[in-house]
């Protein structure tokens, strides 16, 4: 898959995740508070047990971005399209705002908007979807804010910290995505 360019929004940009980001990403993914709502797919990534976070920038079936404030260069989170199915024109979305001091400030929806512009515009996908714990109301509001709709529910017997959870499946189709967003590519 060709390397994605930097995507620039109003307050933040998305740039491809690189090796220089791995230490910070590892810290986020193993932080109990940040990881509280992470689903099993993210459990493949933490390096606490053996160096697998590099999949964020080497996985051939996805595009993986560091979320960076435009007024700085340090990443505040990551977002990704993974499991891209080029025939079915679908992908799953994942996002983590790792800097807890920045939670609740609208960076998640802005990053998702840039990612969705890329998914539907540049990559030509027709549908993206995600899985979210039903108890993660802040994330659900962010997903709904950008247009994701509820498609179903799953029950997972055990997650990271030994607890079961109800999982919502949410999706968004290209035809429901409002065309142009405020962004420059590669600026």
CA distance 4 to 144: 26
Tally of domains within the chain: 1
pLDDT at 26: 81
CATH number at residue 23: 3.40.630.30
Is residue 153 in some structural domain? yes
What proportion of the chain, given as a percentage, has pLDDT over 70? Answer: 76
Is residue 2 in some structural domain? no
The number of helices, as runs of H, and strands, as runs of E, in the chain is 5, 9
Is residue 77 in some structural domain? yes
**Beta-sheet strand order (sheet of 12-16):** 149-156, 165-173, 127-133, 90-97, 75-85, 63-69, 12-16, 7-8, 184-185
Q: Output the average pLDDT for the chain.
A: 81
Is residue 92 in some structural domain? yes
The terminus-to-terminus CA distance of the chain in angstroms comes to 21
**Quick one: 37 exposed, middle or buried, by C-beta within 10 A (0-12, 13-18, 19+)?**
middle
Do 105 and 136 form a contact (C-beta atoms < 8 A)?
Answer: no
Is residue 20 pLDDT above 60, yes or no?
A: yes
How large is the average pLDDT for residues 72-79?
A: 87
The predicted-structure confidence for 3-19, as pLDDT tens digits, reads as follows 568 899 999 999 998 88
**pTM for this entry:** 0.83
Domain span holding position 156: 7-185
Q: Averaging pLDDT over each range in 4-8, 135-139, 140-144, which range is the top one? A: 140-144
Dmax (CA) for the chain in angstroms is 45
The DSSP secondary-structure symbol of 67 reads E
Is residue 1 in some structural domain? no
């Amino acid at each position: 898959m060709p390397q994605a360019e930097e995507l620039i929004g109003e307050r933040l940009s998305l740039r491809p995740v690189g090796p220089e980001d791995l230490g910070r990403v590892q810290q986020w993914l193993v932080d109990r508070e940040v990881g509280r709502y992470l689903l099993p797919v993210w459990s493949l990534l933490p390096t606490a047990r053996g160096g697998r976070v590099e999949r964020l920038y080497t996985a051939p079936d996805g595009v993986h971005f560091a979320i960076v404030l435009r007024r700085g260069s340090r990443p505040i989170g990551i977002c990704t399209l993974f499991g891209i199915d080029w025939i079915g024109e679908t992908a799953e979305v994942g996002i983590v705002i790792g800097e807890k001091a920045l939670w609740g400030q609208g960076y998640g929806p802005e990053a998702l908007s840039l990612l969705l512009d890329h998914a539907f515009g540049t990559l030509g996908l027709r549908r993206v979807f995600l899985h979210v714990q039903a108890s993660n109301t802040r994330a659900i509001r962010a997903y709904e804010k950008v247009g994701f709709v509820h498609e179903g529910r799953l029950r997972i017997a055990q997650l990271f910290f030994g607890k079961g959870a109800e999982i919502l499946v949410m999706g968004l189709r290209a035809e429901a995505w409002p065309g142009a967003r405020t962004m420059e590519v590669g600026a």
